[in-house]
């Protein structure tokens, strides 16, 4: 058995490597099925031992997972090529061909990647792994707590994906009243020469896709606050087409529709409003999910002339987020991105934005809020 695969970010985490069932050839598939829940040893191609007893565990019907160890997996990036071979003794041999950040990137792509990394204060490898995941799945959702820069990062990723080609990007924001008619198509009453007519009018996404068909480059559709609408109702037939991009489908009100190959969709999701666990599995399976956490490096870079002040603020935010102890409700850095942050502006932000947020979150534990009132933290700055 020999299995070769280009890694995606979701397949490598927490020291474990996931092997996705649908990507296996028949020989490799048969091997993993016969070795489920059995123990093997992992070796490097040079014969050196990686790990002695590794269980080929089944996470579900869709994949197998085995522990390669943090020292191996933490070095892997999306896009790396991994080759798994069965040795003569029945154990596994692993060969890893790692890519460099600039490998296979055109000069203009390297320039845009460097610009995005600087603007987002993120490592180029991280951004490249996200881009790879978006292009692989063709639709992604950036999720995180309030103030983690989801919309900003979505726009920067769209900028990279569009590149210097003839593609384009558009943004729409979902809300509770957003409907299928707004997004796909619907009948809209119109007045013409004193008469009311009811033409079939295309929605925002249908218009976007029609426009994208006349372009060769990548076209990115950003859905801000994607979880604020009733997604199953708004998407309609799109649920099918998101998975089967090469197919065309008849719409409920007439006409046929397909999503062009050059279209990418990026949604943003505030987990303080609704966590991922509340999104139905059919929809989740059609997107890759990219988690965003408060990136304090943004504050350090933006206010680099106020290093001591910013370091103290970051220390307070880290303490506060430890007390919050919920990934979905951590305080992000966007609250503090102003033209010129100083002690007076910070006082206003803290009293008018942060304290009300904490009062709502700790509504039945107000003693925790007391420790982070402005009067308490001012002396720490």
User: Which range has highest mean pLDDT (217-221, 300-304, 328-332)?
Assistant: 217-221
User: Which range has highest mean pLDDT (6-10, 59-63, 110-114, 371-375)?
Assistant: 371-375
- Which tops the pLDDT comparison, 100 or 127? 127
Note the pLDDT of residue 276.
59
Question: Token pair 């957003």 is at which residue?
Answer: 178
Which CB contacts under 8 angstroms, 24+ apart, belong to 273-282?
273/225, 273/227, 273/228, 274/227, 274/228, 275/328, 276/143, 278/227, 279/227, 279/231, 280/232, 282/239
* Token pair in block for residue 199: 């033409």
Question: Which pLDDT band, with edges at 50, 70 and 90, does 8 fall under?
Answer: low
Rounded CA-CA distance 12/14 in Å is 7
Q: What is the pLDDT of residues 139-178, one digit of tens each?
A: 999 999 988 999 999 999 999 899 878 899 999 999 999 9
Is pLDDT at 103 greater than 60 in this prediction?
no
Residues 82-102, mean pLDDT to the nearest whole number: 71
Note the pLDDT of residue 328.
86
Query: Above pLDDT 70, what percent of the chain?
Result: 85
- Which tops the pLDDT comparison, 107 or 163? 163
Question: Which pLDDT band, with edges at 50, 70 and 90, does 247 fall under?
Answer: confident
Any idea how long the chain is? 381
Residues 184-211, mean pLDDT to the nearest whole number: 85
Q: What is the pTM of this model?
A: 0.71
- CA within 13 Å, CB half, 46: 3
Task: Show Cβ contacts of residue 287 under 8 Å, excluding neighbours closer than 6 positions.
Answer: 137, 139, 140, 141, 242, 267
Rounded CA-CA distance 256/25 in Å is 34
What letters, b where the CB count within 10 A reaches 16 and e where it falls short, cover 235-270? bbebeebbeeeeeeeebeeeeebebeebbbbbbbbb
Q: What is the pLDDT of residues 330-369, one digit of tens each?
A: 999 999 998 889 999 999 999 999 999 999 988 888 888 8
Strands of the sheet containing 49-55, edge to edge, are 2-6, 81-86, 92-97, 39-44, 49-55
Note the pLDDT of residue 73.
54
Residues 293-311, mean pLDDT to the nearest whole number: 89
Q: How many CB atoms lie within 10 A of CB 175?
A: 10
DSSP per-residue string spanning 232-275:
HHHHTTHHHHHH-TT--EE-TTS-EE---TTEEEEEEEETTTS-
Residues 320-324, mean pLDDT to the nearest whole number: 91
Longest dimension (CA), the chain: 85
Domains assigned to the chain: 2-97 (2.40.330.10), 107-291 (3.40.50.300), 297-380 (no CATH)
- Which tops the pLDDT comparison, 118 or 69? 118
- Residue 198, classed as helix, strand or coil, is coil
Note the pLDDT of residue 256.
86
Pairing mode, if any, of strands 190-192 and 49-55?
unpaired
Q: What is the pLDDT of residues 31-72, one digit of tens each?
A: 777 877 888 887 776 777 777 777 877 755 567 777 666 555
Angle at 245 between CA 243 and CA 248, to 5 degrees: 110
User: Which range has highest mean pLDDT (5-9, 100-104, 204-208, 339-343)?
Assistant: 204-208
Note the pLDDT of residue 3.
64
Task: Note whether 133 and 127 are within 8 A (CB).
Answer: no
Q: Chain centroid to CA 293: how far?
A: 11
Burial category of 88 from C-beta neighbours within 10 Å (exposed 0-12, middle 13-18, buried 19 and up) = exposed
First to last CA, the chain: 61
């Amino acid at each position: 058995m020999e299995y070769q695969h280009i890694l995606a970010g979701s397949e490598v985490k927490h020291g474990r490597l996931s092997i996705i069932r649908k990507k296996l050839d028949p020989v490799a598939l048969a091997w993993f099925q016969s070795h489920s829940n059995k123990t093997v040893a992992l070796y490097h191609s040079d014969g050196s031992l990686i790990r002695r007893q590794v269980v080929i565990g089944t996470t579900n019907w869709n994949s197998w997972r085995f522990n390669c160890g943090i020292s191996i997996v933490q070095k892997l990036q999306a896009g790396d090529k991994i080759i798994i071979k069965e040795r003569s003794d029945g154990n596994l041999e692993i060969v890893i061909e790692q890519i460099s950040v600039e490998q296979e990137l055109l000069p203009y792509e390297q320039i845009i990647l460097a610009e995005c990394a600087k603007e987002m204060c993120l490592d180029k490898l991280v951004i490249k792994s996200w881009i790879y995941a978006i292009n692989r799945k063709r639709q992604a959702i950036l999720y995180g707590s309030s103030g983690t820069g989801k919309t900003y990062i979505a726009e920067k990723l769209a900028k990279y994906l569009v590149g210097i080609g003839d593609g384009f990007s558009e943004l729409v924001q979902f809300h509770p009243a957003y409907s299928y008619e707004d997004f796909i198509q619907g009948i809209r009453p119109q007045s013409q020469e004193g008469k009311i007519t009811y033409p079939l009018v295309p929605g925002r996404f249908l218009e976007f896709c029609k426009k994208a068909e006349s372009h060769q480059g990548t076209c990115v559709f950003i859905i801000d606050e994607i979880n604020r609408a009733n997604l199953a109702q708004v998407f309609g037939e799109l649920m099918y087409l998101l998975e089967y991009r090469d197919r065309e489908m008849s719409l409920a009100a007439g006409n046929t529709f397909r999503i062009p190959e050059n279209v990418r969709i990026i949604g943003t999701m505030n987990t303080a409003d609704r966590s991922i666990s509340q999104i139905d599995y059919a929809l989740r399976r059609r997107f890759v999910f990219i988690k965003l956490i408060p990136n304090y490096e943004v504050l350090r870079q933006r206010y680099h002339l106020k290093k001591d002040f910013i370091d103290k603020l970051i220390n307070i935010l880290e303490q506060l987020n430890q007390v919050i102890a919920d990934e979905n409700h951590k305080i992000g850095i966007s609250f503090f991105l102003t033209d010129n942050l100083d002690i007076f502006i910070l006082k206003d932000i803290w009293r008018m934005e942060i304290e009300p947020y904490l009062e709502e979150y700790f509504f039945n534990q107000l003693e925790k809020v007391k420790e982070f009132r402005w009067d308490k933290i001012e002396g720490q700055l």
